[in-house]
Amino acid sequence: MDTPLAQQLDRRQPLHFIGVGGIGMSAIAGILADRGFEVSGSDPRDNAVLQDLRSRGVRVFRGQSATTIAAIRSGTSTQPLVVVSSAVPPTNPELQEARRAGLEIAHRSDVLAALIASQNSVAVAGSHGKTTTSTLIASLLHATNHDPTAVIGGVVPAFGSNGRNGKGLLVAEADESDGTLVKFQAWLGVITNLELDHTDHYADLAALIGTLQRFGRGCEQLLANHDCPTLREHFNASHWWSTTSAEGVDFAAIPLELSGEGTVAEFHEQGQRLGTFKLPLPGLHNLSNATAAMASCRLHGVSFAELRQAVEGLQAPGRRFDYRGTWCERQVVDDYAHHPSEVGATLATAQLMVESGRSPLPEAPQRVLAVFQPHRYSRTAEFLEPFAEALCQADEVVLAPLYAAGEAPIMGISSHALGDAIQRQRPDLRVTVADSLEELADAVAERSRPGDLVLAMGAGDVNGLWGRLQEREDPLAMFPLAA
């Protein structure tokens, strides 16, 4: 940002987070408050995250205005450090006033880099599975009494929070979306996989590869997924893992049994079979995430016997196949999937539950109704056909209005365009396109059936579907002729 941040944070200097309620900002703010730093923040919202920060001693201002800067400067002899994320625009009144007052301003990534440099750390990067993998590493360390610190872009069930202050290894999610992860110099870097995304920031896959290569070179060791062809071709990792073969890799988990309620797999290390384990998270993508987590813990010195027991209690982070409840005999699940590969993996997991008749949900679903919200015009334009192909795995599709995330519209790109692409690929698949969130809930109520898994996917506001459905009556009363 405006000035580079020193490698170490000064405990005498107060910190003020603009947008402190954000999933990445709140984790750091809470940890620093727990460590005795004087921390404040501002946010227009008021929710459980902000209430938790207040209980930990963070001074939270409602709204964002220039007067907040005057308030945090009063009564202190040391000028505060102002922390922003990429989501804070240059026109933000607090940021403008902080600049006018000559305050030191740092990007969130600079503060996280200082935390990572302050203790042994694992930084988890990659196109997909970062939040889940970092959650699983932190959860395994916690379950085996290794007291981790965690800075993660999702709620970790084991902690009930996205951040935890501990004395052991620091586990951080390293987001590649804005390129700032190159600042992180961790004891262990982890890359889950790599394919083109964030086309608003990266011109092509080569640019993304270059950024992740810089990240890898900055880490003392690099653990990477050998099953990803891009990583195999372009990276020289210290350690590799796989879920397809134990040959030529340092760690492997070979599936013995796949079902809708989890996976039984055989764990190998340096070509030696250590034993089997049962993962309660279904899907091959989750097996890969768990293998990376177990490998990270083994490199840290956690025994396989401890891990084998701890794995059985693992839970995915919030918004990752997150069961919200049952509405009129329809089970509703919320998922953050917003890239074609993520949508495809999530739908494959859902269909595995249908086919196997086994599920971690209260009941195995009979059919999958996919509710998808495209996220960003640029991403939808780049991946229109791959999105359509992934969604063709569903038994029926309902599309929410495209979530712009601040982007300007692109001619010809919309949820209707995606619906047309699905119909071109699979004309027999029923696709409904909603033009508002209210219309979306009506469409789901009309098109769903008892026994359905209503799978809401997207990074926008589609996660509000569960609340909107709860406000509705039984669909048979609303739509007596519904199929």
Report the catalytic residues: 130-131, 173
- 3-class SS of residue 120: coil
User: 25: Cβ–Cβ under 8 A, 6 or more apart, which residues?
Assistant: 17, 19, 41, 83, 85, 108
Q: How far apart are the two ends of the chain, measured CA to CA in Å?
A: 55
Instruction: Decide if 189 contacts 216 (C-beta within 8 A).
Output: yes
The conformation of residue 20, written as its DSSP 8-state character, comes to: T
- Residue 59's Cβ-count burial label (10 Å; 0-12, 13-18, 19+) is middle
Pairwise CA distance, residues 385 & 424, whole Å = 10
Q: 63, 42 in Cβ contact below 8 A? A: yes
Contact in structure between 304 and 275 (CB atoms under 8 Å): yes
∠128-132-135 over CA atoms, to 5°? Answer: 145
Residue 438: phi and psi, rounded to 5, are -65, -45
Q: In a 10 Å sphere around its CB, with 0-12 CB exposed, 13-18 middle and 19+ buried, how is residue 185 labelled?
A: middle
Quick one: which of 138, 175, 176 has its CA closest to 158? 138
Strand partners, 172: 123, 151
* Structural contact between residues 209 and 236, judged by C-beta atoms closer than 8 angstroms: no
Q: Could you give the CA distance from residue 269 to residue 31 in angstroms, rounded to a whole number?
A: 34
Work out the burial of residue 328: count CB atoms within 10 Å of its CB; fewer than 13 is exposed, 13-18 middle, 19 or more buried: middle
- Backbone φ and ψ for 141, nearest 5 degrees, come out as -65, -40
Contact 395, 369 (CB under 8 A): yes
Sheet of 149-156, strand order: 161-164, 149-156, 170-173, 121-125, 188-191, 221-225, 239-242, 251-259, 262-269, 272-279
